[in-house]
Amino acid sequence: MPKSYNECFSPSTFLLTGIPQLEAAHVWFSIPFCFMYIIAVVGNCTILFIVKTEASLHEPMYLFLSMLAVIDLVLSSSTMPKLLSIFWLNNREIGFHVCLLQMFIIHSFATIESGVFLAMAFDRYVAICAPLRHKTILTHPIVAKIGLAATLRGFLYISPLPLLARRYTSFHTNAIAHSYCEHMAVVMLSCEDISISNLYGMAIGFLVLIIDSLCIGLSYFLIFQAVMSLATAEARLKAFSTCSSHICAILAFYIPIAVSSLTHRFGHNVPPPAHILLADFYLIIPPVLNPIVYAVRTKEIRRRLAKMWSFGRGEVKNLV
């Protein structure tokens, strides 16, 4: 550790701060974060189980939902266990290469999730605007190729971030003022020129957020036009209801990530604890809300959950 911030050294490990300036309250923060992580794991595993075991749900919408559940499990599990170990055990240390791996997983899977939301918007567009061609356009092989394309895009877009960060060998400090290895939180500690990393990270962030959100917005604009042309109010309401869960999930994903990204780069007057909490929430809120939203808003999933619940109650009664 250097004696002053102006000195530089080459650390083999980093130290994650958790929530800076609120270290005394870490134990209390651990309660809601642990509770949300359990809900995220149970909820997304339940969605995967239902879609896998229910043959009637082997349709594009639910296959994309399964991809979303896997992504949410990866995102939450790549950060929450380490965050909880910081809260409970003060286990702040993380290896340099492990930190880079966490950085890659977080940013690449967030990019993949954005791509899956875009694919789900396209699925809703085809289902409402061209319902007779839906099954012929979005076949299982096409859905698999779309999922593969979203994954490759995420990996290719984000791979340069840890590769650029790996080139930095001297740092002012090894204490990261964050709960996880967020890209800018790590590279800003370097003594070297980080302009390329900064520009590339900003470009990718805006590219994914703006292009994907514009394409999703266009899809829903066309859907809205098609729905408003339907003859009856009942038909319009039914069409809108098929999109409501997707819209809720999109808002739960894009709003926190946009606010967190903008706050990190431009919100210099935002207190550090507020910024870190925003960044933590954008990795845990969507994994928590997505299964709940789709379970509440999707009739087929509600029906399957009711079957599981009634079967479980019957088994308990038989045991008693």
What is the three-state SS of the chain?
A: CCCCCCCCECCCEEEECCCCCCHHHHHHHHHHHHHHHHHHHHHHHHHHHHHHHCHHHCCHHHHHHHHHHHHHHHHHHCCHHHHHHHHHHCCCEEEHHHHHHHHHHHHHHHHHHHHHHHHHHHHHHHHHHCHHHHHHHCCHHHHHHHHHHHHHHHHHHHCHHHHHHHCCCCECCCEECCCCCCHHHHHCCECCCCHHHHHHHHHHHHHHHHHHHHHHHHHHHHHHHHHHCCCCHHHHHHHHHHHHHHHHHHHHHHHHHHHHHHHHHHCCCCCHHHHHHHHHHHHHHHHHHHHHHHHHHCHHHHHHHHHHHHHHHHHHHHHC
Cα angle at 294 between 289 and 296, to 5 degrees? 95
Q: What is the pLDDT of residue 82?
A: 94
Burial class (CB in 10 A: 0-12, 13-18, 19+), 150: buried
**Taking residues 307-319, what's their average pLDDT?**
60
Q: What is the pLDDT of residue 316?
A: 47
Name residue 175's beta-bridge partners. 15
The one-letter amino acid code at 181 reads C
Q: What is the pLDDT of residues 173-231, one digit of tens each?
A: 999 988 999 998 899 999 998 899 989 988 988 888 889 989 998 988 888 888 777 76
Q: What is the pLDDT of residue 267?
A: 63
Question: Are 52 and 64 contacting, i.e. CB atoms less than 8 angstroms apart?
Answer: no
pLDDT bucket at 320, cuts 50 / 70 / 90? very low
Cα angle at 181 between 180 and 187, to 5 degrees? 145
What whole-number percentage of the chain has pLDDT above 90? 44
The one-letter amino acid code at 194 reads I
Q: What is the pLDDT of residue 40?
A: 95
pLDDT bucket at 42, cuts 50 / 70 / 90? very high
Q: What is the pLDDT of residues 75-118, one digit of tens each?
A: 999 999 999 999 999 999 999 999 999 999 999 999 999 999 99
Q: What is the pLDDT of residue 87?
A: 93
Return the closest-CA partner of residue 79 out of 280, 313, 298, 271.
280
Mean pLDDT, the chain, rounded, equals 86
Q: What is the pLDDT of residue 276?
A: 87
Report whether pLDDT(1) > 60: no
Question: Are 138 and 60 contacting, i.e. CB atoms less than 8 angstroms apart?
Answer: yes
Q: What is the pLDDT of residues 229-267, one digit of tens each?
A: 776 777 677 777 777 778 888 888 888 777 777 776 666
Give the C-alpha separation, 216 to 66, whole Å. Answer: 19
- pLDDT, greater one: 34 or 135: 34
Residue 8's alpha-carbon distances to 4, 100, 171, 195, 280, in angstroms, are 9, 20, 5, 18, 29
Dihedral angle sign, alpha carbons of residues 200, 206, 209, 214: negative
Q: What is the pLDDT of residues 46-84, one digit of tens each?
A: 999 998 988 888 889 889 999 999 999 999 999 999 999
Q: HSE of 308 in the Cβ direction (CA atoms, 13 Å)?
A: 14
Question: Are 23 and 276 contacting, i.e. CB atoms less than 8 angstroms apart?
Answer: no
Q: pTM for this structure?
A: 0.89
